[in-house]
Amino acid sequence: MEDSSTTHKNKKPSFFRRFKDQAFYQAMIWPSVILMILFNFIPMYGLIIAFKNYTVLDTIGGAPWVGFEYFQEFFKDPLFWTVMKNTFGIAFFKMLIGFPGAIMLAVLINEVANVHFKKFVQTISYLPHFLSWVILGGMVIMWLSDTGFLNSLLMDLKVISKPIEFMADPNKYWAIAVLSDFWKEVGWGTILYLASMTAIDPSLYEAAKIDGATKWQQIIHITIPGIRQMIALNLILSIGGLLGSNLDQTLVLQNSLNYASSEVLNSYVFKMGIKQGNFSYATAVGIFVSVVSLILIVLSRWGTRKISDKSVF
Amino acid sequence: MKMKKVLVALAAGLVCAMTLTACGNSNSSSNADSLPKARFTPNKKVPSWQKDTKHSASLTWYVNFDWYKRAGWGKDTVSAQIKKDMNIDVKFVAGNDDKLNTMMASGKLPDLVTFDRQLAVAQNAKKFALPLNTLSKKYDPYFLATAAKPQTVKWYTQPDGNLYTYPSFSTNEDDYKAGNVVADQVFIVRKDIYEKIGKPNMSTPEGFLKALQEAKKAVPKTDNGTALVPFASTALDIQNGGDGALGGTLQDFLRIPVTKDGKWYDRDADPEYLTWLDTFRQAYSEGLITNAQFADNDNTMKEKMTQGTYFAYLHSNTKGLNEFMADNNRRNPKQTYIAVDGPKNSKGQEPQFTGGSISGWTNTFITKNTKEPQKAMELLTYMASKYGTMVTTFGVKDKTYTMKDGQAVLTPDVEALRNKDAATYDKKQGMGSYWEVADDPYAISMGEKPATTISQMVEWASNKVAPRFEVENIDPTPGTALARNLTAINTDRVQTLVKVIKAGSKSEADKIWKDFLARRKNNNWDEIVKTRNEQVAKNIKKLK
């Protein structure tokens, strides 16, 4: 609410005056801004080692410059295409299934009338999210082993005569990665949608009912448009995170045999940088990942403006 | 306004970052000139630690292996004796590469560090380590004169004339000549099955396959009800290019040379090797090798070994088997494993293994950060010397060992504990646990014996060793593009090995392997071979 006495004065109040007026809000924002500078911006200085031949015995400033050598090496690396294919492929299918999956599950949960049953379903579907990949991956590996639960079941049902090598077959890795991720995260993904569904005005549903709209029509014309903003936001966030989300999972589910289809950008960086100590090289790959992610975010932001008339950020 | 604020923040951030770099440079520049004075005039005939007992010191020693845990200095027989002799306290810190890298980058190193000689940082020792020749000259000439092995010192002396490190388990030409070396590779079979099927000859592809088939028929299940696995070999580690026993170890069994006419030899392309890969392929297709071979890690496989799961096993590290053989023997003494003749080449020649390298295993450095360079030097001298080797290998004379005909023999109760409970033995006695600069061949010459469970295996390999110093350290320098190429090739190689064994037919397997050999070119293979040949030539020169 603007006071009429301030609007008719054309002169803006001074910076310090305004700062003092906002002192309370400023006090809330500055600690986090400072933390961000300390931990997000200053360390970025270290990125220059991507252009230097850095070893742990050099200082960041003192290491010799090498230009774009590591980028060139990475692009020429025979593994480059494998890693890119796996990263984008797995991420694409995860989004293809996981993104609409969460929306559908949220709609379904929203339509459950019995409160206790609703809470029960929600709890069960959130549960895997709180288990780490180490535990969940261990379960997946056990279930899918030669003598595991799934093979025993299929054998006993006489569906197959010989155990299927799930974990040892590179052709099956993508499916395992995508489905296990779906199982883990789909419930958690519904929370934001469910929250924004409660904000939809109930009178809209009442009006629709009076007009004779079916449940299906209510979902399509009221629920989904009601959470449109949230869908757009989630889409942007998940596209931005496409290249960076599956390190834990990869490290747990990867083995000697599915390596060719399980190595992704992040596990590659981890291996080259942390495990083999090629810090400069790994940083160069890391910068490449960041640049691609940035491009994706900008593109998706531009795209979602078309779906929801307002920009999300 | 908002934009401006962001800019100000960014600028502030940059300024901070620039000033911080100055702090990052903390590699202390203590050099040889600024070393403290020796506490007395050292003598090259007497190790300085004997005269330095009045000065007590406490040192920290970092060992770059997570599993290296000591109960505490002075709590076991060995460290108690060193403490008594030297008036010294040593705190051991264990860790992994991450920890080492962090310490290196921050410049905060403990007094001594020990790590695998193949780590990239070893190349830059000059930046963090004090030259041992300088320290020895100043504080303890006995080290270079008597304690250290001359051939090892020569091998490790850098072009700048300095010796920055001293290795563990360095084995030289003389050690080979004296027979003080042991091989670490072995082919073992479960004795009860082997005898049941009439002790067949397993050194030819036909005999090998036939024996596996018969073993499977004779004993289809193990004691715990799981299926017997006729053949397995050391676990693979594909991500790190670890070929288990399917690469170099098998090639050693087939006596494929490592060099030919002073040039590095491409053992992977040798027809003898291909013959045996195809033998393994046939074994896999008949179910004599299972998929677990490619999925199980080292721990899982050794655990299965304690259950007698395998009939035959090709292994690349005999010493690492002790504990598991002991467990298996305790479970069922009739199902022990014994070493027999395994794969041989088509000429039927004996295998040829390496009995240790002149470079040894780990490297130990005295860092520039140490405040006690003299005591640190004395400690290295002590542990590398003959006297120190006796203490670290056998403990205290007449307490844990006695001398018989010039050979040390552990007292009966100590020996019994060693074979019964390896963990308690290590904790209480600590023998063999302070190996950082150990002279293994000397310990062997003085009577060090492998644990009873593996003694037959070590014995089997003992007459099949020959040095191969010319191929040591011939791979591209770690951290370079060429080294990354080699890692990529090695990873590809192990994956290809698996594909070859799982291939449906001989022609298919041959094609997969030939494709791999050709594909190496994409990863600068020719350049790597060139580097190796240059290094081989250098080594040959150095060894003369």
pLDDT at A309: 61
User: Domain-by-domain residue ranges, chain A?
Assistant: 78-307
Tokens 């108690």 correspond to B80
Instruction: State whether CATH 1.10.3720.10 applies to domain A78-307.
Output: yes
Pairing of strands B57-63, B337-339: unpaired
Angle between helices A79-111 and A115-126 (to 10 degrees): 170
Q: In terms of Cα–Cα distance, which of B484, B493, B494 is closest to B528?
A: B484
Test mutation, A33, A48, A56, chain B, max B CBs within 10 A: A56
- pLDDT tens for each residue of B233-292: 999 887 677 899 999 999 999 999 999 999 999 999 999 999 999 999 999 999 999 988
- pLDDT tens for each residue of A280-308: 999 999 999 889 888 988 888 887 777 66
How far apart, in whole angstroms, are the C-alpha atoms of residue B420 and residue B411? Answer: 14
Q: How confident is the model at residue A145 (pLDDT cuts 50, 70, 90)?
A: confident
Angle between helices A170-198 and A228-240 (to 10 degrees): 150
The beta strands (E) that lie in B32-135 are given as 57-63, 88-94, 112-116
Do B32-178+360-453 and B186-352+474-543 have matching folds?
yes
Q: How confident is the model at residue A148 (pLDDT cuts 50, 70, 90)?
A: confident
pLDDT at A311: 57
Q: How confident is the model at residue A130 (pLDDT cuts 50, 70, 90)?
A: very high
B186-352+474-543: which CATH architecture?
A: 3-Layer(aba) Sandwich (3.40)
User: Over the range B486-503, which residues count as b (16 or more CB within 10 Å of their CB) and which as e?
Assistant: bbbbbbbbbbbbbbbbbb
Are the CB atoms for A242 and A299 separated by under 8 Å? no
Q: How confident is the model at residue A181 (pLDDT cuts 50, 70, 90)?
A: very high
User: Domain-by-domain residue ranges, chain B?
Assistant: 32-178+360-453, 186-352+474-543
Average pLDDT value over all residues in chain B:
90
pLDDT at A59: 82
- pLDDT tens for each residue of A66-117: 999 999 989 988 888 999 999 999 999 999 999 999 999 999 999 888 999 9
Indicate if the pLDDT at residue B435 is higher than 90.
Answer: yes
B contact set with A (CB within 8 A): 9-10, 12-14, 16-18, 20-21, 24-25, 27, 97-98, 101, 104-105, 119-121, 124, 127-128, 236-240, 291-292, 294-295, 478-479, 481, 484, 487-488, 491, 494-495, 498, 522-523
- The mean pLDDT of B380-395, rounded to a whole number, is 95
Are the CB atoms for B174 and B151 separated by under 8 Å? yes
Scanning every residue of chain A, which has its alpha carbon at the shortest distance from the alpha carbon of B25? A59
How far apart, in whole angstroms, are the C-alpha atoms of residue B477 and residue B483? Answer: 6
ipTM field: 0.71
Are the CB atoms for B485 and B477 separated by under 8 Å? no
Q: How confident is the model at residue B10 (pLDDT cuts 50, 70, 90)?
A: very low
Fold observed for domain B32-178+360-453: D-Maltodextrin-Binding Protein; domain 2 (3.40.190)
The fraction of chain A above a pLDDT of 90, given in percent, is: 46
**Are residues B491 and A259, on separate chains, in Cβ contact within 8 Å?**
yes
Between A199-213, A226-240, B9-23, the lowest mean confidence (pLDDT) is in B9-23
In angstroms, how far is the first alpha carbon of chain B from the final one?
A: 75
Are the CB atoms for B15 and B27 separated by under 8 Å? no
Indicate if the pLDDT at residue A13 is higher than 90.
Answer: no
Indicate if the pLDDT at residue A207 is higher than 80.
Answer: yes
- pLDDT tens for each residue of A259-275: 888 999 989 988 888 87
How far apart, in whole angstroms, are the C-alpha atoms of residue A119 and residue A112? Answer: 10
Are the CB atoms for B396 and B77 separated by under 8 Å? yes
Which two tokens mark B400? 């844990």
- The mean pLDDT of B90-100, rounded to a whole number, is 92
Q: How confident is the model at residue A7 (pLDDT cuts 50, 70, 90)?
A: very low
SS3 label, residue B129: strand
* Cα A177 → chain centroid: 14
**Are residues B238 and A61, on separate chains, in Cβ contact within 8 Å?**
no
- pLDDT tens for each residue of B114-143: 999 988 888 889 999 999 999 999 999 999
Which two tokens mark B502? 């799982």
H or E segment and range at residue B184: none
Indicate if the pLDDT at residue A198 is higher than 70.
Answer: yes
Q: Nearest CB to A42: which of B20, B104, B238?
A: B20
Are the CB atoms for A214 and A223 separated by under 8 Å? no
Q: How confident is the model at residue B19 (pLDDT cuts 50, 70, 90)?
A: very low
pLDDT at B32: 53
Dihedral angle of Cα B458, B460, B462, B467, to the nearest 10 degrees: -100
The fraction of chain B above a pLDDT of 90, given in percent, is: 71
